[in-house]
Structure 1
Amino acid sequence: MRFRAKIVDLACLNHFSRVINTIAKLAKSCTLRLTESKLYFILSDRVANGGVSMWGELCQPSLSSSSRIVTHDIPVKVIPRRLWNDFREPSVPDFDVSIYLPALKTMKNIVERMKNISNCIVIEANLSGEMNLKIETDVVSVTTHFKDLGNPPWASEDGCQSSAPGRDLQSMAEARIDIKKLQQLLVGQQVNPTKALCNIVSKRIVHFILLHEDVSLQYFIPALV
């Protein structure tokens, strides 16, 4: 099937390429949904069954008279309308803690070193802007501490600016996840987000959000039992 797109300018093409290259590091194939205003990139492995799920959004720029046609042939399988509900944005349970991430390059370097010691990593954070990355084996225990990261002002139904109203600010929420899946996200990302967030549902799921201008990328990693 022939895929045809209008590219407004070179900057737009480079921007699109960065998003595609990031997704290519996460999966060999994904679902593309097109609307008049956005492109959606979907990796719909079932988190409940241990798979990783991804949801990416890219706003389509308004086309100008200077746009040009770019044609590239790629194998495409059209999804029947009756299956469209299987490719909706993943729902996130009420999370216990939401926190801004440290510099992703710093985090990537730490995770790469930890990967050589353990197959699992524990991510824990609280509502006081503190986050820890921990690995534990029979012979060694290593923890990296981050402070003053800040917590997003998510609004709850009662107006409280907190992801979990009434939660102790020092209490840690944690999830133990596959360290290779986390490394895959950190190594592959080329979006260079202006904001990167992490939402933790204790012992259930870690939800990452990368934001940059008109791009948002959500990545869901299930907790290990």
Structure 2
Amino acid sequence: MKFRAKSVDLGFIRTFAQLLSALSRCSRNFVLRITPDKLIFVLSDKEAANAASSVSAWGEIPKDPYFSEYAMEGVSAEDNEIYLEISPEKIAGCLSTLRSSHSVAGLKIKLTKKFVPCLTFETEFQSINSTPTCVHDVPVVLVLRRMWSHYQDPDVPPFDISIGMPELKMVRLALDRMKNLGPRLTITANRRGRLSLSVDAYNVKCTVKFNDLRVYDINDGDVQESEEDTTQDPDLQFSVEVDMKTMIQMISSDLHKPTNFICSLCETRRLHLYFLYGDISLQYSIPSVGDHS
């Protein structure tokens, strides 16, 4: 098995570090799937033993256009992938300087063999007389082929509605003002593009409403703006109640301005958050409070 990649795209390198920081908020361990055309981070099966009643998270980074070099050899020609169990917190920690540094010239990622298998990150910095390099070795655990089926994209039930969210900072501000009113947040949406965030607890009810939002159809990961559906009542509302702290945690990463931010509801069951940063995606599936189905 071999893997080597290099990027000189400073914007991507910062986003990469921020993505790993966001994932580290969900779990101490993820599985990194290295495929011929993309990198996929999936919540470790050990961490997702109660996946139906816990948060699922996964992120995808395509090879193009972010890596100027990308070469890999999987387990075999038939199974041309590599599965590594890894701590996103450790990677994010060693790449923390990339989020704000303006002297980074490039980032190399290699699968290496030290005393144990490692992902080695080599950060190159700009300098007048030389190219200093900072090297971090992050230990990984190779996942056996018979366990690969546990680390595919999480199963997500069909959505009742998918709606484009307001600007992320507006959602963060609204939840920050509501978080002390109650432990649960209710998200409600309809096909007219109306969305409400509400807290109802201790004889106090607070609701923040947004109008004229885009409604989407999402099928097998393909996102398209929804066409008018004359068979469904546009005023029919769908709601999901989730844990307030979990929701705030999922939207509080350093990734500030997504290209697209979509919220999908499975009535009374799950809330799905889809963030797109260029061609990089980050997704969370949050269970409804008390849901174990």
TM-score, normalising length: structure 1? 0.86
Give the conservation status (yes or no) of the 8 Å contact 2:191–2:235.
Answer: yes
Equivalent residue number for residue 79 of structure 2: none
1:213 to 262, 271, 278: 278
Once residues 163 and 74 of structure 1 are traced to their aligned partners in structure 2, the CA distance between those partners, rounded to angstroms, is 50
2:53 to 34, 38, 50: 50
Q: Does structure 1 residue 201 correspond to structure 2 residue 266?
A: yes
Unpaired runs of at least 5, structure 1 = none
Higher-Rg member (1/2): 2
Equivalent residue number for residue 20 of structure 1: 20
Equivalent residue number for residue 223 of structure 1: 288
2:191 to 113, 123, 127: 127
In the TM superposition, residue 178 of structure 1 has moved relative to its aligned partner by: 0.7
Once residues 203 and 184 of structure 1 are traced to their aligned partners in structure 2, the CA distance between those partners, rounded to angstroms, is 21
Once residues 207 and 35 of structure 1 are traced to their aligned partners in structure 2, the CA distance between those partners, rounded to angstroms, is 25
Equivalent residue number for residue 249 of structure 2: 184
Q: Secondary structure at the match of 2:54?
A: coil
In the TM superposition, residue 137 of structure 1 has moved relative to its aligned partner by: 0.9
Equivalent residue number for residue 82 of structure 1: 146
In the TM superposition, residue 153 of structure 1 has moved relative to its aligned partner by: 4.5
Give the conservation status (yes or no) of the 8 Å contact 1:155–1:161.
Answer: no
Deviates more, 1:44-53 or 1:82-91: 44-53
Once residues 59 and 185 of structure 2 are traced to their aligned partners in structure 1, the CA distance between those partners, rounded to angstroms, is 25
Equivalent residue number for residue 7 of structure 2: 7
Q: Secondary structure at the match of 2:197?
A: strand
Equivalent residue number for residue 29 of structure 1: 29
In the TM superposition, residue 8 of structure 1 has moved relative to its aligned partner by: 2.9
Change over 3 Å in CA distance of 1:56–1:164 after alignment to 2: farther
Equivalent residue number for residue 101 of structure 1: 165
Q: Secondary structure at the match of 1:39?
A: strand
TM-score, normalising length: structure 2? 0.67
Q: Secondary structure at the match of 1:188?
A: coil
- 1:17-68 residue CA offsets vs partner (Å, 9 max, x unmatched): 122222223333222111122111112526754110012101123425x966
Once residues 46 and 119 of structure 1 are traced to their aligned partners in structure 2, the CA distance between those partners, rounded to angstroms, is 24
Aligned residue-pair number = 219
Give the conservation status (yes or no) of the 8 Å contact 1:191–1:212.
Answer: no
Q: Does structure 1 residue 174 correspond to structure 2 residue 239?
A: yes
In the TM superposition, residue 121 of structure 1 has moved relative to its aligned partner by: 0.5
Change over 3 Å in CA distance of 1:166–1:114 after alignment to 2: same
Once residues 37 and 158 of structure 2 are traced to their aligned partners in structure 1, the CA distance between those partners, rounded to angstroms, is 29
Once residues 228 and 58 of structure 2 are traced to their aligned partners in structure 1, the CA distance between those partners, rounded to angstroms, is 21
Choose between structure 1 and 2: higher strand proportion: 2
Q: Which has the higher contact order (CA 8 A, sep 6+)?
A: 1
In the TM superposition, residue 167 of structure 1 has moved relative to its aligned partner by: 2.5
Give the conservation status (yes or no) of the 8 Å contact 1:7–1:67.
Answer: yes
In the TM superposition, residue 112 of structure 1 has moved relative to its aligned partner by: 1.8
Superposed CA RMSD: 2.7
Q: Which amino acid aligns with 2:266?
A: V
